[in-house]
Amino acid sequence: MVSRNKLRKIFSKHQPIFGDNTIFKVRNNIYNLNKVHAATTKTIDNNSKDPLETTTTIAEYSISQEKYISNDNINAIEQKDDVSDIFHRAVYPIIIIAQCFGVMPVMGVRHKNPRRMQFSFISMQLLVTLIYFGTTILLLVFMVRHLWFVGIDAKNIGGVIFYISAFLAYVLFMLLAARWPKLIRVWARSEITFNQKPYEILPKNLAARIRTAATIIIILSAVEHGLSVASNVLNYTRKIEICAAALNTSAKSSFDDFIKQHYVFIYSMIPYNIYGGAYIMLIHGACTFVWNYMDLFIVMISKGIAYRFEQITTRINKLAGKEIPEDTFAEIREHYVKVCELLDYVDDNLSGIILLSCANNLYFVCNQLLNVFNKLRWPINYIYFWYSLLYLIGRTAYVFLTAASINDESKAALGVLRRVSKTTWCVEVERLIFQMATQTVALSGKKFYYLTRKLLFGILIPQIPFTEKVNEVMEKILELQRASSHDFEDQ
Amino acid sequence: MVSRNKLRKIFSKHQPIFGDNTIFKVRNNIYNLNKVHAATTKTIDNNSKDPLETTTTIAEYSISQEKYISNDNINAIEQKDDVSDIFHRAVYPIIIIAQCFGVMPVMGVRHKNPRRMQFSFISMQLLVTLIYFGTTILLLVFMVRHLWFVGIDAKNIGGVIFYISAFLAYVLFMLLAARWPKLIRVWARSEITFNQKPYEILPKNLAARIRTAATIIIILSAVEHGLSVASNVLNYTRKIEICAAALNTSAKSSFDDFIKQHYVFIYSMIPYNIYGGAYIMLIHGACTFVWNYMDLFIVMISKGIAYRFEQITTRINKLAGKEIPEDTFAEIREHYVKVCELLDYVDDNLSGIILLSCANNLYFVCNQLLNVFNKLRWPINYIYFWYSLLYLIGRTAYVFLTAASINDESKAALGVLRRVSKTTWCVEVERLIFQMATQTVALSGKKFYYLTRKLLFGILIPQIPFTEKVNEVMEKILELQRASSHDFEDQ
Amino acid sequence: MVSRNKLRKIFSKHQPIFGDNTIFKVRNNIYNLNKVHAATTKTIDNNSKDPLETTTTIAEYSISQEKYISNDNINAIEQKDDVSDIFHRAVYPIIIIAQCFGVMPVMGVRHKNPRRMQFSFISMQLLVTLIYFGTTILLLVFMVRHLWFVGIDAKNIGGVIFYISAFLAYVLFMLLAARWPKLIRVWARSEITFNQKPYEILPKNLAARIRTAATIIIILSAVEHGLSVASNVLNYTRKIEICAAALNTSAKSSFDDFIKQHYVFIYSMIPYNIYGGAYIMLIHGACTFVWNYMDLFIVMISKGIAYRFEQITTRINKLAGKEIPEDTFAEIREHYVKVCELLDYVDDNLSGIILLSCANNLYFVCNQLLNVFNKLRWPINYIYFWYSLLYLIGRTAYVFLTAASINDESKAALGVLRRVSKTTWCVEVERLIFQMATQTVALSGKKFYYLTRKLLFGILIPQIPFTEKVNEVMEKILELQRASSHDFEDQ
Amino acid sequence: MVSRNKLRKIFSKHQPIFGDNTIFKVRNNIYNLNKVHAATTKTIDNNSKDPLETTTTIAEYSISQEKYISNDNINAIEQKDDVSDIFHRAVYPIIIIAQCFGVMPVMGVRHKNPRRMQFSFISMQLLVTLIYFGTTILLLVFMVRHLWFVGIDAKNIGGVIFYISAFLAYVLFMLLAARWPKLIRVWARSEITFNQKPYEILPKNLAARIRTAATIIIILSAVEHGLSVASNVLNYTRKIEICAAALNTSAKSSFDDFIKQHYVFIYSMIPYNIYGGAYIMLIHGACTFVWNYMDLFIVMISKGIAYRFEQITTRINKLAGKEIPEDTFAEIREHYVKVCELLDYVDDNLSGIILLSCANNLYFVCNQLLNVFNKLRWPINYIYFWYSLLYLIGRTAYVFLTAASINDESKAALGVLRRVSKTTWCVEVERLIFQMATQTVALSGKKFYYLTRKLLFGILIPQIPFTEKVNEVMEKILELQRASSHDFEDQ
């Protein structure tokens, strides 16, 4: 570290006597030296190329560099402790948990060096995934076959949509897994800059942020799933008891009967078996996990990128009120553009999952809101319904807000930049302001919409009065239905 | 005053011979001298720092300055009469009224010097607040317990929402009260500039604007509450009379019975008591006040900030058609940015209240509009219904329009700036135009939406044809219901 | 004319040897000379002031100039034939027609010189207006009284809304009339520039455009009103005939009975009288006229302003591909800003009418669309319904499109400006492009929304699937109603 | 080719010694030489004019050049093989297929030289078109007459809308055909630039892209039409069989009876005839084709223009990281503006078709979605319904996405331009970025809306929860209807 800072000092002393271009090159050399130092490798051919002036887009760039990867400076991440505040390291425990449920089948997640991560067709992880995935397909087929005979209506469509989205989520995560190692390498490489001066690790570092969020979501979703099972089981046993009382027989509620009745669309097809029943409950649980994990995944990605924008904002805030040379702003703008490009690259790979997650959340929230006035039988049903509704709304809002924080952070430095005084004002500041003010920097659903704070409002508000009104119409119709059926009964 | 103007003249004579930077520093010195003059204090260490070039954001800035606050120039507000056109002084009578209903429990509201205001956990104001707040919670708990037995439907949900929003309003105003003294100090400090030349107090000054609006809203809301009580009382007495006539007994309508029946969700739980009844009516009144005060509060804040933008616009309008040096525009831009920052800071503290107020207004307006075709029993019911509907729509529109006036005023100078001739055109004008044209300067609901004129249209218009159509469907269903029940009765 | 062109030539020869500023002043002098020449008056104190560099906004400016107005160059309009392509002259015949129905009570509409126009409280026009207006209020009062007894429902609300909007339209036009003389003077003054070189009168001049549109709208609306009366009369006579046939009496359908029945809300209050009946039909006709005239008025204003933007576009298009000095662009930009200011001024005075007209059109179109599937009795009813629906949609679309043409024309020159080559590029072109690209130049409904092409889509499209779906639900309910009433009848 | 490249080399050697202006002129000369070389004609008067600095808009330009057209360089397309990657050549086979169904009646589609294409009132193509068109009008008239007696309701309105849109499509394509030869010439001329260095033919060339898309759409639409016929025929035969079984007669399902029953609105008017029946089926097929072809046509146009933007993006991407002279960016910007103008010109001619297509797709998708819960009779009905629904959604999405790709591609180079370093930054880059960031480059529906990715979301999302909710209400009403009719039956 000393030597790096020394070099920096030496060069900065001589800066005034160099021409504009010279300084720039020297600056690049410093960077390269930094990188060499960090990488403890000999090859610099790949580093001596200025990343800003590259011909290829970031994605192509990373592909073309794939062969040099063994010499790459991202190896540094493994050896050095001061390059540890990176997304890959922050996220790995959650990915390991996900792999237990067959999501994201990549190898080498635990290695500190992202280089070691790879996707292979012959791996334990993929096998686990395929087992889950295969059974999900089977369940889906059974359900569709069941609906073919029963007919689709507003009640049973929820189940199909749940399995279809679990199925699609598995597909999307498998496709993502194949591209994940490369993505994480590109990401790690772009994060090195932000682990060096003048950037600082923020008070609450990346790993802490991501893991806190993940823990909370996983626990709350487990409770939700538990309540769902409890609600179903109690429904079943109470019904048995009442029937028994009515028929004057003794009530016999067994696990077997519960499973048979609850998964009737399966057991009308195949014979029942206690292990099969447990297995199906496991798969159902996995589907619920995947369904929650999509949202969690978007949260983690969002936090990872928003963190970098926050670092840039912090740096700009520190510059406020000082006389800053144009080169500093040029450098900041360069880093800003780099994070934007990383976001764009991540978004390309992720927006299928975002689209699915949003559609899912929108559907289930609307669906639940529509049932607010429904009469339920037992207290446990009410508890489950309201917990589930609030959890769903809360999770949806959290995902949106976290994703929107990328957009918020990307614009956060605008205030300081607008206060830049007449003397410090330069073309680079102008470019930076123009870019911040006109570009929509955010995760997107296949570019159809961008996850910004304004969007949430655009979706939710028009629904509120609507839902209530239609609810009221619905209620009146139900009343009418009850009344007429009642009257006829009276006759 | 003479000496200040003299200094200004002296310096302005010499301006042409100074370099660009020199002028700027001298100008700052003039400012500082002005401030010193105004403050009649000796310390200038805090003032000699150029506020434009500060490292910290406005919020942090104010915190770091907290210790110097006894020497601060905002003390000037107390001694000098020409620094009197400030938000703190304009707003204090309304805050005192609010404190009678337990809103905004801060001490020292009446002091001219904002420095004297403070929030304390041991204060009369907080005690009053806690009494109101505690009772509101109790009412809410009773109501939820009542609903647990009765079940939620479209009719009784209105009551819960009313109490929930009153409860949330109390919480939000208590949280705000804790931050209010600091906020008002930051605000007052940023207002000093606008009480000095070349800014002028506008024809109708800030206090007059705010107090007129507050008086009107408070009177209209009192009438609304009175009509509501009258409508309920008359409903009750008429019903008693009719029952009595039908049963051939004499009608005995008493205050006790009215209270018992109207607050049935309470008196099904606890025994009745005449003082308790009066107390509950008081709390109900306080909740109604809070519910109205949220809107009034937004109006006052909006007027406070819009006034400053109007002053800037007035100043720019005066410059139109003259040859103006770039420094003047730099100064104006600096002040413009300052007000924007103040707005941002206020918005951060206030947007919870804005969100709650908007949700509330939207809900109750929609709800009332949906009941336009309902048949009511007595003329007083019609009078109350239509007064209440029109008042609600009027208040909502007024809040929106006043809040939107910030946005309108912030762009009002664009016209004059666009007419700036080729010779006066400079980078600072360009920056100012770019900022005005691209930045959304407005109060927001947690940044989900901005209170601008365009928003009002976006919310209301799509509702109009919708409401009518659903109303029509509803009416048909009700007709059907009446017809069928009638037919059955005939049978 | 020769002398002016000569002067221009002389000065343009010498332009290269003057400095930038000198040229500008000389140019202004030329303008002033032109104006003097045109005005044939001696005073130039008012003209020698550069309108671009004026301190006041356009509205204040015109007020302050009011005293000089007798010497103003807009007198030129009267004497000279080449200054004839102005809005005031184009629009006067339509305003005279409107005055027959009590709209826009100003005096001196027929004078060529806009100066002669004035609003007076003692004038024939205002008397006519007050008679119409008073009767409309009376009708409205009768209708509200009628509804008080009958109750509001979805069917009879249409009538109230019709009379309320006619009433509001009268109020708005009276308020506008008081400001109209000043407005037309400001307008005429800003139009002088566009009646001089290098601007040209476009192939189809302003008067032709406005009068063609007005003629078509007036004829179509007269047909609509005629069909409405015919439909009502035939409905009435057929009903009488059927009743007579059923009761075996002879049918006696008289004009008196028709009026009595059709305006039942009046004749339940006051005694019938044949002159009164005819008078009420006239007033009803006048209300229909006002209701149509609002739209026509917006069309005329829009064409008047769009025409000026079209002239600017034509001028810019001619410059394309040539080497243009910056001064030319500065001048064009100045004119562009002037028309924008005129638009803003007109919009301030007009947007109440725009708001009312849009609300009206939206309401009646939605209302009619909802009745598309209704069964009607006689062919004339179908003819009237479909003519009325198509006319309403057509008129609404036409008003929107004409108003939106202001926005279209204001951006039309962007293409040519973007093609400006590297050598001609200058700050003034940049400013012009920036302004065209970022400013919304359009008539507005009180700034809540701007009448642009995009808006039409925003309102209509979300309605289409909606209307159809609700229609379908409605139809089902009606079917249900018919079925159940039928079944009961069968019993 | 050699000579051109040689010239280029010679000039580029000498570039450094020329002044800025000189280079520009020399560059133009090179272009002109290229054109001369390509055209193998002698006249250069038309070419020596710099297209960038032309006075007229692109449309007027092409008209004024019409007389010179025989000498125009677009003849080059015929002789040279390296100028073959143009829209005209890519699209001609699909236009020939369309002509078999009476769409786009222009002559000379097969000629390589766009010059040879022309519209004539005496042509085989127009005759074919008029036969199809006339019969469509006849069908429409029969249908409207039928509805006059039967009455419009939500069920039979679909048929009328289908024929009306087929009718409108024929009209629009005939109008387009008259302007098509000129349009294709303007297009071809603007494409010459992109068939020369430094632009490259992209990996998958234009013809391949367009023809693949066309083949897939045509096959899928044929399957859809086949399934529709099959579904109708099976419905008919099954019904006959059931009736026969019930009446104990033998089932006789004939083609004649099927046609008579299916086109009852025709055969209630005119006598049946086997050739007439077949002919009507053919016309019905043609209407289906036209209905699909509108979408296909938009897809082809979109691909044609998006391809050019992609070439520009590719070129800019190659420049990334190099030191680029301002002239290069000026040239790229010029080409970019040219393609934008071409798009604008095409859009003016096409947006009627776009509007019709969008309205159509929106209507039929909504209509089908509303019927998702309907009970159908036979498996073939389900197969047809779901295939048709998915095909419709798929086609609509594909058209939108392809049209939106123009917008995507037009902004694709923004990333690279934002990475441009401080030294390469120049006014031309700034202008290019500003234009890309602020201009909406996309096909439009008469400028009411632009076909961008964001639009799709704006239309679809608000429909999703809505459709489901209304579906649910509908279902309840139907249930109610069934229940009540059932109960009455039981009585």
At A173 the pLDDT is 93
Q: What is the pLDDT of residue D233?
A: 87
Instruction: Report pLDDT for D154.
Output: 64
φ, ψ for residue A258 (rounded to 5)? -60, -50
Q: What pLDDT is attached to residue C80?
A: 55
Virtual CA dihedral for C164, C167, C168, C171, nearest 10 degrees? -160
End-to-end CA distance of chain B: 93
Which of the pair, C138 or A54, is modelled with greater confidence?
C138
How confident is the model over B73-98, as pLDDT tens digits?
Answer: 555 555 555 567 889 889 989 999 99
Tell the residue number behind the tokens 């030294």, with chain if given. Answer: D423
* Residues A157-208 pLDDT 10s: 788 888 899 999 999 999 999 999 999 999 999 998 898 888 988 888 899 9
Residue D183 C-alpha, separation from nearest chain C C-alpha, in angstroms: 19
**Burial B416-434, CB ≥16 within 10 A → b, else e:** bbbbbbbebbbebbbbbbb
Distance, C-alpha A33 to centroid of its chain: 35
Task: Please tell me the distance in Å from D120's CA to the nearest CA on chain A.
Answer: 43
* Residue A472 vs residue A294, higher pLDDT: A294
Nearest Cα to Cα of residue A443 among A469, A472, A475, A405: A405
Q: Are A366 and D469 in contact (CB under 8 A)?
A: yes
Tokens in use for A100? 């237990």
pLDDT of residue A484: 63
Residue type at B418 in one-letter notation: R
Instruction: Report CB contact under 8 Å: C321, D55.
Output: yes
Is A428–D437 a contact, with Cβ atoms under 8 angstroms apart? no
* Alpha carbon distance, N-terminus to C-terminus of chain C: 94
Residue C448 and residue B462: Cβ atoms within 8 Å? no
Residue C63 lies in a domain: no
CA dist A145 to A139, A141, B182, Å?
10, 6, 66
In a domain, D136, yes or no: yes
The tokens describing D305, both together, are 């223009």
Residue A132 C-alpha from the chain's centroid: 21
User: Is the Cβ of C334 closer than 8 Å to some Cβ of chain B?
Assistant: yes
Minimum Cα–Cα distance from C51: chain B residue: B321
Chain A CB contacts of D477 below 8 Å: 477
Q: Are A177 and A119 in contact (CB under 8 A)?
A: yes
Neighbours of chain B (3+ CB pairs under 8 A): A, C
Under 8 Å between Cβ of A308 and A339: yes
Kindly list the residues from chain D whose CB atom is less than 8 angstroms away from the CB atom of residue C477. Answer: 477
Which residues, 6+ apart, have CB-to-CB distance to C21 below 8 Å?
Answer: B423
Choose the closest CB to B457 out of C24, C53, C449: C449
Residue A481 in any domain: the answer is no
How far apart (Å, rounded) are the C-alpha atoms in residues B286 and B291?
8
The 3-class SS string of chain B reads CHHHHHHHHHHHHHHHHCCHHHHHHHHHHHHHHHHHHHHCCCCCCCCCCCHHHCCCCHHHHHHHCHHHHHHCHHHHHHHCCCCCCCHHHHHHHHHHHHHHCCCCCCECCCCCCHHHCECCCCCHHHHHHHHHHHHHHHHHHHHHHHHHHHCCCCCCHHHHHHHHHHHHHHHHHHHHHHHHHHHHHHHHHHHCHHHCCCCCCCCCCHHHHHHHHHHHHHHHHHHHHHHHHHHHHHHHHHHHHHHHHHHCCCCCCCHHHHHHHHCHHHHCCCCCCHHHHHHHHHHHHHHHHHHHHHHHHHHHHHHHHHHHHHHHHHHHHHHCCCCCCHHHHHHHHHHHHHHHHHHHHHHHHHHHHHHHHHHHHHHHHHHHHHCCCCCCCCHHHHHHHHHHHHHHHHHHHHHHHHHHHHHHHHHCCHHHHHCCCCCCCCHHHHHHHHHHHHCCCCCECCCCCECCHHHHHHHHCCHHHHHHHHHHHHHHHHHHHHHHHHHHHHC
Distance from CA of B321 to the nearest CA of C (A): 3
Query: Which residues of chain B lie closer than 8 angstroms to C466, CB-CB?
Result: 466, 469
Residue A80 domain flag: yes
- Is this complex scored with an ipTM above 0.85? no
Rounded to the nearest integer, the mean pLDDT of chain B is: 78
Closest in C153, C447, C470 to B473, CB measured? C470
Q: Which of B377, B461, B478 to mutate to test the interface with C (most CBs of C within 10 A)?
A: B461
Q: Which domain holds residue C186?
A: 75-466
Is residue D472 domain-resident? no
Query: Which chain D residues contact residue A52 at CB under 8 A?
Result: 321, 419, 421
Q: Is C377 on the interface with D (CB under 8 A)?
A: no
Rg of chain C in Å (alpha carbons): 28
Residue with more model confidence, B476 or B444: B444
pLDDT of residue A449: 86
**Residues of A (129-148) whose Cβ lies below 8 Å from D:** none
CB contact under 8 A, A422 and B330: yes
At A422, the pLDDT band (50, 70, 90 cuts) reads confident
- DSSP string across B124-179: HHHHHHHHHHHHHHHHHHHHHHHHHHH---TTTHHHHHHHHHHHHHHHHHHHHHHH
Q: Which of residues 399-438 of A touch D (CB under 8 A)?
A: 427-428, 431, 434-435, 438
Mutant choice from B27, B53, B433 vs A, greatest count of A C-beta within 10 A: B53
Dihedral sign of CA atoms C374, C379, C381, C386 in order: positive
Each residue's pLDDT, cut to its tens digit, for chain D (491 residues) gives 344 444 444 444 444 333 344 334 444 444 444 444 444 333 333 333 333 333 344 444 444 444 333 344 555 555 555 567 889 889 989 999 999 888 888 888 888 888 888 888 888 888 888 989 998 898 888 888 888 777 776 677 788 888 899 999 999 999 999 999 999 999 999 998 898 888 988 888 899 999 999 999 999 999 999 999 888 888 888 888 888 888 887 767 777 888 887 787 777 777 888 888 888 888 888 989 998 999 999 999 999 999 999 999 999 999 888 888 888 999 999 999 999 999 999 999 998 999 999 888 888 887 787 777 677 777 888 889 989 999 999 999 899 999 999 999 999 999 889 888 888 898 899 999 999 998 889 999 888 888 888 876 666 665 565 666 666 676 677 777 666 655 544 44
Residues 6+ apart with CB under 8 A from A234: A378, A380
B446 touches chain A (CB under 8 A): yes
Q: Is residue D454 in some structural domain?
A: yes
Nearest-angstrom CA–CA distance, C166 and C101: 12
Residue B293 lies in a domain: yes
Closest CA to C335 of B431, B313, B411, B418: B418
Of the candidates A437, A464, A475, which has its C-beta nearest B362's C-beta? A464
Looking at the predicted structure, is the pLDDT value of residue C121 above 80? Answer: yes
Q: Which amino acid is at B60?
A: E
How many other C-beta atoms can be found within 10 angstroms of the C-beta atom of residue A423? 13
| Residue whose entry in the numeric block shows the structure tokens 């047909």 | C223
- What pLDDT score was predicted for residue A481? 66
- To probe the interface with B, which of C28, C345, C447 has the most B CB atoms within 10 Å? C447
Neighbouring-strand partners of residue D118:
D107
Q: What is the per-residue DSSP string for A255-304?
A: HHHHHHHHTHHHHTTS---HHHHHHHHHHHHHHHHHHHHHHHHHHHHHHH
DSSP secondary structure string for all residues of D461-480: TTHHHHHHHHHHHHHHHHHH
- At C156 the pLDDT is 76
Under an 8 A CB cutoff, do B321 and C427 touch? no
Contact B480 A479 (CB under 8 A): no
The number of C-alpha atoms within 13 Å of C409 and in the hemisphere containing its C-beta is: 26
- Report residue C356 CA to chain centroid gap: 11
Q: How many domains is chain A partitioned into structurally? A: 1
Residue B46: band (very low, low, confident or very high) from pLDDT cuts 50, 70, 90: very low
| Interface residue A370 vs chain D (CB under 8 A) | yes
User: With 50 as the cut, is the pLDDT of residue A21 above it?
Assistant: no
Which residues have a Cβ under 8 Å from the Cβ of D371 and sit 6 or more positions away? D385
- CA distances for D470 relative to C97, C470, D252, angstroms: 49, 8, 42
* Contact with chain D for residue C486, Cβ under 8 A: no
- Report the alpha-carbon distance of residue A418 to residue A424 in Å, rounded: 11
Instruction: Tell if the CB–CB gap between C57 and B416 is shorter than 8 Å.
Output: yes
Closest-approach residue (CA) in chain D for C430? D431
Alpha carbon distances (Å) from B447 to A405, B344, B356, B442, D262: 11, 10, 13, 10, 58
Going C154 to C159 to C164 to C166, the CA torsion angle's sign is positive
Instruction: Express each pLDDT in B223-245 by its tens digit.
Output: 999 999 888 888 888 888 888 88
Q: Cα Rg for chain B, rounded, in angstroms?
A: 28
Amino acid at B139: L
Q: pLDDT tens for residues A360-409?
A: 888 888 778 777 767 777 788 888 998 999 999 999 989 999 999 999 99
Q: How much is the pLDDT for C490?
A: 46
Per CB-CB distance under 8 Å, the chain B contacts of C370 are 469, 472
How much is the pLDDT for D298?
A: 95
Integer Cα distance of D53 and D35 in angstroms: 17
Q: How far is C307 from chain B (nearest CA, A)?
A: 21
- Residue D353, Cβ neighbours under 10 Å: how many? 22
Say whether A54 and D320 touch across the interface (CB within 8 A): yes
Tokens describing residue B127: 């005690």
Q: Is B478 on the interface with A (CB under 8 A)?
A: yes
* In chain B, % of residues over pLDDT 70: 74
Contacts of D436 in chain A (CB under 8 A): none
Handedness of CA D356, D362, D364, D367 (dihedral sign): negative
Amino acid (1-letter code) at residue C306: A
A108-112, A390-394, C58-62, D155-159: which range is least confident on average?
Answer: C58-62
Alpha carbons B47 and A71: distance in angstroms, whole number: 55
CB-based contact, C474 to chain B, within 8 Å: yes
What's the pLDDT score for residue C277?
84
Question: Cβ C320–D55 below 8 Å, yes or no?
Answer: yes
Looking at the complex, does the CB of residue D480 fall below 8 Å from at least one CB of chain C?
yes
Measured between CB atoms, does A485 come within 8 Å of chain D? yes
Nearest one of B300, B440, B475, B457 to B370, comparing CA atoms = B475
Question: Could you tell me which chain D residue has the CA closest to the CA of A336?
Answer: D419
Give the whole-angstrom CA distance, residue A385 versus residue A372.
9
Residue with tokens 């041991």: B122
pLDDT at C108 over 70: yes
Query: What would the pLDDT profile of B272-285 be if each residue is shown by its tens digit?
Result: 888 888 888 888 88
Q: What is the pLDDT of residues B309-365, one digit of tens each?
A: 999 999 999 988 888 888 899 999 999 999 999 999 999 999 899 999 988 888 888
DSSP 3-state of C348: helix
Contacts of A239 (CB under 8 A, 6+ apart): none
Residues of A (268-297) whose Cβ lies below 8 Å from D: none
What is the per-residue DSSP string for D43-71? --TTTSS-GGG-SS-HHHHHHHTGGGGGG
Mean per-residue pLDDT, A228-252: 83
Q: How far is CA C309 from CA C8, C210, C338, in A?
A: 25, 16, 10
Question: Does residue C33 lie within any of the structural domains?
Answer: no
| Segment C2-45, tens digit of pLDDT | 444 444 444 444 443 333 443 344 444 444 444 444 443 333 33
* CA distance, residue B104 to nearest chain C CA (Å): 33
